[in-house]
Amino acid sequence: MTKLNSYLELIRFYNPIGFWLLLWPGLWGLFLSDNFNISNFTIVILGSFLTRSLGCAINDLTDRKFDKNVERTKDRPLANNSLSVLEALFFIILLSICSLLLLSLTNIFTIKFVGLIAVPMIIIYPLMKRFIALPQIFLGATFGLSLPISYSIAEGTISLEVWFLYFGCVFWIIAYDTYYALCDLDDDRKLNLNSAAIFFGDDTRKAAIVFSSLFVLSIFVLAYKNVSSIIAIGVLFLLYQIYFQNQLSNKDKNLEAFKANSQVGLVVAVLLFIEKQSEFFS
């Protein structure tokens, strides 16, 4: 059981916030499509779980030496040696095989998109904090891919509307990961790693507000384009969330501000689902 627990810790099974934050944009894409069904829904949920698990395992493998020196991550399986590198590699291969089997149940367009774009980005994004000043941009671009991928699973293509919302989603991810970066600010400085909190310095919280506002703007444009009062109502909630999360961060509750974004993802998913159902029955 101890070894099993280490594998579960490796994929953050007991800390599912990352899974939810990856799943919500995936559901946005699915709900924007005209082919929502249980099969596609199941693939998106399992795909989000496997992708998040794989990303965590790859991240811990590449960062194992850094994690030993960070208070928040020093007890991760590869950092405390409860798992060996070989065991982690074996598990990564197993997760990859499961992901490929699931991907094979989709369509050619999705398979090519994931293979040529998503997979390389998932593999290299853990390294970005070493090489670019604002790694949150690459993280946003990678995490946000769950939106167009899920849409392509249902439609076999990606619409311009979905691409537009994807870029809005990237701004949202940058914003919430900026709050997350504040949690590791001191450790990242000691280890000479890059983050939005280091890049923006004293203006970090202002930057998070700007990125969040750009996301809300994209939702507003989507509502305006679709003449949707339902989605427009959601904009009010999103504006409140910008204020609420900023207040939490000002009280140094940055992890709580980060986690609050699961509510944002859920509300947007519900609104898009209701909007699509109202179109169906109109």
Q: How many domains does the chain have?
A: 1
DSSP per-residue letters across 224-253 = HHTT-HHHHHHHHHHHHHHHHHHHHHHTT-
The closest alpha carbon to 86, from 111, 61, 113, belongs to 61
pTM assigned to the model: 0.93
Residue 115: how many other CB atoms lie within 10 Å: 12
- DSSP code, position 201: G
CB distance 57 to 88 below 8 Å: yes
Enclosing domain of residue 119: 2-281
List pLDDT tens digits, range 20-65. Answer: 999 999 999 999 999 889 999 999 999 999 999 998 998 888 888 7
Q: What one-character-per-residue DSSP string does 193-209 give?
A: ---HHHHHGGGHHHHHH
**Per-residue model confidence as pLDDT tens digits over 66-79:** 778 777 778 889 88
DSSP count for the chain of H helices, then E strands: 17, 0
239: amino acid identity, one letter: L
User: Residue 22 is part of a domain; what is its CATH number?
Assistant: 1.10.357.140
Ranking 7-16, 71-80, 208-217, 265-274 by mean pLDDT, the lowest is 71-80
